[in-house]
Chain A
Amino acid sequence: MEASKVIHAIYTDDDILMSAVKKVKAERFHIEEIYTPFPVHGLDKAMGLAPTRLAITAFIYGCIGITVATVMMNFIMIKDWPQDIGGKPSFSYLENLPSFVPIMFELTVFFAAHLMVITFYMRSRMWPFKKAENPDPRTTDDHFLMEIAVHNNEESLTNLLKETGAVEINIVDNNEDAH
């Protein structure tokens, strides 16, 4: 069940944030989300996030790209209308392969790059006119925010977060910023 309340702990330094994450993890609290103004190296590892599979999707998209290029040019240049263009041997795909390689390469890269970017946008729910999910606008500038769900343990959680060096701790009703 979704917790109705979350606690927002705000930090001003990424090193302090990192040690806070480690401490909170050690106390076995579940961190809902962390908002940072820039990538913090090693944060995903400290939070125990699973590694991304984006590179694997890119490889698959690249394979699709090279297949599209091959099938397309094989149909157009070899099967559909095998003309003699400047003496190029259009008897089979293999015989004329070198002249197709630049296109095969470019389409592989094109598919891998673009489809991977689109996958990234979809998986991270980013699109134009999307409502920003900022719990606090300062997190885009110089503050770091850790969000933890509250399950009737407000006091112990607050104390723990205070110990970790949070400069500000807010308890927020979840319904207020439904996203």
Chain B
Amino acid sequence: MEYKISNRLKIGAIVLIVLGLLGISYGFIDASSVTEDNITEFLANEDHHGDAYASDSHNSDALHVEDHHGGDAHGASHAEQDHGMSHEEHVLHQIHNRPYSALYIAAFFFFMISLGVLAFYAVQYAAQAGWSPVLFRVMEGITSYVLPGGLIVLAIAFAADSHLFVWLTDGITDVDSDKYDTLVAGKSGWLNKTGFFIRGIIFVAGWSLYRHFSRKFSVAQDNADDNRYFKKNFRIAAAFLVFFIYTESMMSWDWIMSVDPHWFSTLFGWYLLAGMLVCGVTVIAMIAIYLKSKGLLEHVNDSHIHDLAKFMFGFSVFWTYLWFSQFMLIWYSDIPEEVTYFVTRIEDYKLPFFGMIGMNFIFPLLLLMNSDFKRVNWFVIMAGVVILCGHYLDIFNMIMPATVGDRWFIGIPEIGAILFFAGIFLYVVFTALGKYPLLAKRSPFIEESKHFHY
């Protein structure tokens, strides 16, 4: 079945991009309106807004002091550096970091969807799944965002520099500088600008190469007279999965965990992977339902949607398992250098931090447990919307506390960035979907997949 991106969708995507750009520019202009000259005035005005807020900010000041004492335990010079920074300077940094963080979170979120789909797609080949070949072209469409999305994330990281990654601050590894940080200096063998971008380019190149060849072989298989291309795809999928699990893990340290360079967690890569997979499967289900509602995926039936919904359910629970394992181990042992990560989140991000558990776990758990509900399209879409919003919050909770601290809000810069990348994502994905027929017609499992019934 041929598909062409409709004009309405194209215009919709462009409108999203334009609106998003406006929001992003507003965010940058708004942030740059506060400078060293007027920061004192700005803070004074803010305190006059209301007593409730004023007392709030006093609380968080107290918290900051506590945090820094936590830092004392492992880096005396680091604590000195923080004490050296005035409150005004600290707030100014947070205000200036916000538009960069908003942009980075949204860019990473949409990139992560397509990377999750790529991993899921490779698993379908490596496992020789019999149910999913009718969805291969949908998955290939979504993975077309891996290359542009990955490059955008790297570009934002490059532009944001020390606004996102403190370890890129000038002089932080220089013993003579007043910004010197022993811990960061000790990690500079891994956390340095050259290494970060070389690794980033290797990751994105490796993923995109697999994506390129897999798509090529998948299309070639349509007109082949044997299963040569399928076998090739099987082999590269297996190799890619090995490459992926290493690079995904390193990517999570580089791109996400390094915003908090004093903190580390061993299961962080898995945790990010689980979120990635659940978002990926959700978007596969949503786009499949959309295309089916247009009558373009005649062989996709309720059972395929049911399977995808089961994966959404299962990966949601898996994500929760990893989230909880990470949280509980750190909470339980309460080691100061690790626990500050969650202290800042619970103190300053109570609603997004715990709201995310409701959205990513309790809601899908109760909604998608019933096997009849998993076959009802609007149920799957509804659960999918909540899951996607929940995982946006998940990334938000990973980045924002490290860059803007308690000065977070989901306002124009954040929503603008979401709209902007949603527009690019839709445009890229639906253009790619229109390039080849939506049925991978000579896949060896296609007959089984067409008659898949659960």
Q: Is A48 an interface residue (CB 8 A)?
A: no
Question: Closest 4 CB pairs between A and B?
Answer: A98-B328, A98-B331, A99-B332, A98-B332
Q: Is B334 an interface residue (CB 8 A)?
A: yes
When each residue 81-93 of chain A gets 1 if its CB lies under 8 Å from chain B and 0 otherwise, what string results?
Answer: 0000001000000
In the complex, chain B residues whose CB is within 8 Å of the CB of A98? 324, 327-328, 331-332
Q: Could you tell me the distance in whole angstroms from the C-beta of B310 to the nearest C-beta in chain A? A: 14
- Whether the Cβ atoms of A101 and B332 lie closer than 8 Å is no
Q: Could you tell me the distance in whole angstroms from the C-beta of B370 to the nearest C-beta in chain A? A: 9
Q: What total of chain A residues lie within 8 Å of the partner, measured CB to CB?
A: 6
Q: Could you tell me the distance in whole angstroms from the C-beta of B403 to the nearest C-beta in chain A? A: 27
Query: Which residue of A55, A59, A101 contacts B328 across the interface (Cβ within 8 Å)?
Result: A101
Q: Could you tell me the distance in whole angstroms from the C-beta of B320 to the nearest C-beta in chain A? A: 10
In the complex, chain A residues whose CB is within 8 Å of the CB of B328? 98-99, 101
B330 (CB) vs chain A CBs: closest residue: A98
In the complex, chain A residues whose CB is within 8 Å of the CB of B324? 98, 101
Q: Is B159 an interface residue (CB 8 A)?
A: no
A59 to B371, CA, bound (A): 13
Q: Is B239 an interface residue (CB 8 A)?
A: no
Report which B residues bind A (CB closer than 8 A): 324, 327-328, 331-332, 334, 369, 371
A138 to B392, CA, bound (A): 60
In the complex, chain A residues whose CB is within 8 Å of the CB of B331? 98
Q: Could you tell me the distance in whole angstroms from the C-beta of B43 to the nearest C-beta in chain A? A: 33
Q: Could you tell me the distance in whole angstroms from the C-beta of A99 to the nearest C-beta in chain B? A: 6
B371 (CB) vs chain A CBs: closest residue: A55
Interface centre among A55, A98, A99, A101 (most CB of B within 10 A): A98
**Known contacts A98-B327, A101-B324, A101-B328: A59-B369 contact under CB 8 Å:** yes
- The majority secondary structure among interface residues of chain B is helix
Can you name 11 A-B residue pairings with CB atoms under 8 Å? A55-B371, A59-B369, A87-B334, A98-B324, A98-B327, A98-B328, A98-B331, A98-B332, A99-B328, A101-B324, A101-B328
In the complex, chain B residues whose CB is within 8 Å of the CB of A99? 328, 332
Q: Could you tell me the distance in whole angstroms from the C-beta of A73 to the nearest C-beta in chain B? A: 15
In the complex, chain B residues whose CB is within 8 Å of the CB of A101? 324, 328
Q: Could you tell me the distance in whole angstroms from the C-beta of B381 to the nearest C-beta in chain A? A: 24
Chain A 90-149 residues near chain B, CB threshold 8 A:
98-99, 101
Q: Could you tell me the distance in whole angstroms from the C-beta of A85 to the nearest C-beta in chain B? A: 12
When each residue 8-24 of chain A gets 1 if its CB lies under 8 Å from chain B and 0 otherwise, what string results?
Answer: 00000000000000000
A87 to B332, CA, bound (A): 10
A101 to B327, CA, bound (A): 12
Chain A 2-38 residues near chain B, CB threshold 8 A:
none
Q: Could you tell me the distance in whole angstroms from the C-beta of A108 to the nearest C-beta in chain B? A: 12
Q: Could you tell me the distance in whole angstroms from the C-beta of B341 to the nearest C-beta in chain A? A: 15
In the complex, chain A residues whose CB is within 8 Å of the CB of B334? 87
Instruction: Given A98-B328, A98-B331, A98-B332, output 5 extra A-B contacts at Cβ < 8 Å.
Output: A59-B369, A87-B334, A98-B327, A99-B328, A101-B324
A18 to B39, CA, bound (A): 81
A101 to B325, CA, bound (A): 10
A137 to B334, CA, bound (A): 64
A102 (CB) vs chain B CBs: closest residue: B328
B324 (CB) vs chain A CBs: closest residue: A101
A99 to B327, CA, bound (A): 11
In the complex, chain B residues whose CB is within 8 Å of the CB of A87? 334
In the complex, chain A residues whose CB is within 8 Å of the CB of B332? 98-99
In the complex, chain A residues whose CB is within 8 Å of the CB of B369? 59
A55 to B372, CA, bound (A): 12
In the complex, chain A residues whose CB is within 8 Å of the CB of B371? 55
A99 to B330, CA, bound (A): 11
In the complex, chain B residues whose CB is within 8 Å of the CB of A59? 369
A59 to B369, CA, bound (A): 9
In the complex, chain B residues whose CB is within 8 Å of the CB of A55? 371
When each residue 45-69 of chain A gets 1 if its CB lies under 8 Å from chain B and 0 otherwise, what string results?
Answer: 0000000000100010000000000
A101 to B331, CA, bound (A): 13
B334 (CB) vs chain A CBs: closest residue: A87
Q: Could you tell me the distance in whole angstroms from the C-beta of B326 to the nearest C-beta in chain A? A: 11
A98 to B331, CA, bound (A): 8
Q: Could you tell me the distance in whole angstroms from the C-beta of A46 to the nearest C-beta in chain B? A: 15
A101 to B361, CA, bound (A): 14
A87 to B331, CA, bound (A): 12
A42 (CB) vs chain B CBs: closest residue: B453
Q: Could you tell me the distance in whole angstroms from the C-beta of A105 to the nearest C-beta in chain B? A: 9
A147 to B309, CA, bound (A): 40
In the complex, chain A residues whose CB is within 8 Å of the CB of B327? 98
Q: Could you tell me the distance in whole angstroms from the C-beta of A44 to the nearest C-beta in chain B? A: 15
A59 (CB) vs chain B CBs: closest residue: B369
A55 to B334, CA, bound (A): 39
A53 to B331, CA, bound (A): 40
